[in-house]
Each structure stands twice: as C-alpha cells, then as structure tokens.
C-alpha cells in the first residue's frame, strides 16, 4: 500500500522496503526568495529616503539661515566667479566613476579567485558582489551629501563672494553702526541663496568620503587574514610528563 512520501514494496523473503522520493525545489521555490526581494526593494527605498534632504536643498525648497555682515569685512568682499574650477557635476561623476571602477576590478578579482556560495536571488556572483559594494558606497554618498546640505542650511555661513552676489545698496546702509542685519540684496536671488552656503564644503566632504571608503575600507581589507584556529595541548604543559608539543 502506498504511504505518504514513499511506496511499500513486498520482498520475496517477506521483508518490506520503504522507498522515499525526494523532490528538490527549483530556484523559484527556494525558501526566503520573497524575503530577499523585499529586502532589495527596501534598499532602494532607503537610498531614496537618504537622498531626499540633498535634493530638497538643491532645488531651493529649503532656504539657508539669513545672517548679517560688516561692510568692511574683507572675507566676503571677493569678486563673483561665474565658473568653478571643479564643478559639482564633474566632482561627483569622477568620484563615483573612479570608486566604482576600483571596486569593480577588486571584486571581480576576488570572486574569480576566491569563489563562495551565495543565497541571493541573482545567481551571478559578480552582480551580487557589485550590488553589495557599490550599493553601500552610493548609500554613504547620499547620506554624506544630505548631511552636508543640512549643515549648510543650518549654519548659513557667507561665502567669500557674498557682497558681489548680494549687491546691497550701501547708500541706504549705516555702515558706521557695525553689524548690518537690515539690508536688501539687489542681485540674483539664486546667487544670493548660494552665497549663504559656505560651510561646510560639499566638495571637501564628497572627496574625503570617497577617499576614506576606497583607501580605508577597500584597500585595508585586502591585508586582513583570518585567524588560524589555536591548537589545544594534548597534555598539561606544566606536567612533568609533558613534552610541550600540541596536536592540531
């Protein structure tokens, strides 16, 4: 008679053999596949959420703190340059490109010569390795730049070309009174807003983050070695009959 998971077959000697058939689930039926897909979607949501403060500040929906100035302050009296030596787009593009290229070469070498099993929903080990490393790098970028812009808006420090961007009407200002708080800028509103975001530097924070991630985290990990298991002595070392040797 058939039983659950097998079949009873009579033997000539009167014995009974139980044959069990195992069904191996395919890749789509692996346990936890739906959970891993959910976690990938959660990664994307976290990346978008972390970049939200950055984009809100960049599009001008959040204004920086408004501070006054001294008329004779030479630190904010520099001329306004309409072109930057290194623009934001060039800095971000080059930083992401160099880091991604270095991570891709390093991870490809590691996966090729040191393969390891993975339970990811993607079977290609190269794609899995790049997703983990480059994804972590991009998430750190969004967090760092969001914190940078939030600090800029909260501090509101004036840039060296603030007076050239603001262009206040000095004929209506009483500079002898010292610190001027009641003033009106006649320059471009966007240039004035940008001139209030001096600290801290977005260029410096992004370049520092990229360097620390690529030198400190990626390069240093190449020199880490796993600790070998310690050998336990077969006899007590301080015993008179011990020869001081250990067996592995």
Other Cβ atoms less than 10 A from the Cβ of 75: the count is 12
Token pair for 198? 């001096």
pLDDT at 4: 47
Instruction: Kindly calculate the radius of gyration of the chain based on its CA atoms and give it in whole angstroms.
Output: 32
pLDDT at 18: 52
- Distance (Å, whole) CA 248 – CA 244: 13
- Distance (Å, whole) CA 216 – CA 221: 8
Give the Å distances, CA to CA, from 7 to 1, 4, 14, 146: 7, 8, 16, 64
Other Cβ atoms less than 10 A from the Cβ of 129: the count is 20
Cis before 231? omega within 30:
no
**In the beta sheet, which residues pair with residue 9?**
17
pLDDT at 147: 95
- Distance (Å, whole) CA 135 – CA 72: 48
Give the Å distances, CA to CA, from 241 to 8, 76, 237, 246, 248: 60, 83, 9, 14, 19
Enter the pTM of the model: 0.71
What percent of the chain is predicted at pLDDT more than 90? 50
Q: State whether residue 180 is helix, strand or coil.
A: strand
The 8-class DSSP code of residue 233 comes to: B
Helix, strand, coil share (%) of the chain residues, nearest 5: 50, 10, 40
Name residues whose C-beta falls within 8 Å of residue 130's C-beta, 6 or more positions apart in sequence: 103, 104, 107
pLDDT at 237: 44
Rounded average pLDDT per 10-residue block, the chain, 248 residues = 50 54 50 83 95 91 94 94 83 90 89 82 88 92 95 95 94 92 93 93 92 77 54 46 44
- Distance (Å, whole) CA 114 – CA 85: 43
- Distance (Å, whole) CA 71 – CA 128: 58
Number of H helices, E strands in the chain: 6, 5
Using one digit for the tens of pLDDT, what is the confidence trace for 112-148? 998 877 777 888 899 999 999 999 999 999 999 999 9
pLDDT at 193: 93
pLDDT at 110: 86
pLDDT at 198: 93
């Amino acid at each position: 008679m058939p039983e659950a998971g097998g079949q009873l077959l009579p033997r000539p000697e009167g014995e009974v053999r139980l044959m069990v058939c195992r069904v191996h689930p395919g890749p789509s039926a692996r346990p936890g596949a739906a959970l891993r897909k959910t976690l990938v979607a959660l990664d994307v949501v976290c990346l978008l959420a972390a970049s939200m403060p950055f984009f809100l500040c960049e599009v001008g929906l959040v204004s920086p703190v408004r501070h006054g100035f001294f008329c004779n302050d030479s630190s904010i009296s520099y001329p306004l340059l309409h072109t930057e030596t290194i623009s934001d787009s060039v800095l971000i593009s080059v930083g992401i490109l160099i880091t991604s290229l270095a991570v891709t070469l390093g991870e490809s070498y590691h996966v090729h010569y040191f393969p390891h099993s993975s339970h990811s929903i993607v079977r290609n080990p190269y794609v899995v390795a790049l997703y983990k490393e480059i994804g972590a790098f991009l998430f750190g970028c969004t967090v760092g730049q969001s914190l940078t812009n939030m600090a800029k808006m909260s501090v509101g420090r004036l840039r060296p070309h603030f007076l050239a961007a603001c262009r206040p009407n000095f004929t209506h200002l009483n500079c002898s009174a010292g610190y001027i708080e009641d003033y009106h800028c006649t320059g471009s509103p966007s240039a004035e807003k940008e001139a209030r975001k001096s600290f801290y530097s977005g260029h410096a924070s992004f370049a520092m983050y990229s360097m620390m991630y690529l030198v400190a985290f990626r390069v240093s990990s190449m020199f880490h070695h796993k600790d070998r298991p310690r050998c336990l002595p077969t006899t007590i070392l301080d015993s008179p009959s011990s020869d001081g040797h250990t067996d592995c």
